[in-house]
Amino acid sequence: MTTSTTAPSSIDQPVDEREEAARRYVQQLRVFYVHAAVFVGSMAINIALNLFVNLQAGIADEWSAWWSIWALIGWGAGIAVHGFVVRLNRPSFAVSTWEQRQIERILG
């Protein structure tokens, strides 16, 4: 007698666990959106301030005078990693369409 042990699929999870996972994901997504909005607002202020200072000093055409690019690159990388982590934590509840068709074919 052989028994087959397989990992339970996400469909077998109780509704409460699925709902809690969805709530956690939505909260993470909301925090990411706030982070992205603060990034966009802060970068707009930084670039405007940098432009104003460079124009006043007469060095707007010099690449080395644009210090705001470093904040954009650094914080932008942080935003990208944050978004990637949130995406990786997305719960997967649905079976792929191919798998669903195969199950229906076998059962029906």
Position 7 scores a pLDDT of 47
Structure tokens at 75: 């914080």
Residue type, position 5, single letter: T
Position 64 scores a pLDDT of 93
Q: What is the pTM of this model?
A: 0.70
Structure tokens at 60: 């707007």
- pLDDT by position in tens, the chain (length 108): 444 444 445 555 677 888 898 899 999 999 999 999 999 999 999 999 999 999 999 999 999 999 999 999 999 999 999 999 999 998 876 556 777 788 888 887
Report which secondary-structure segment, H or E, holds 78.
Answer: helix 68-88
Residue type, position 103, single letter: I
Residue 24 contacts by C-beta under 8 Å, 6 or more apart in sequence?
Answer: 89
Position 6 scores a pLDDT of 47
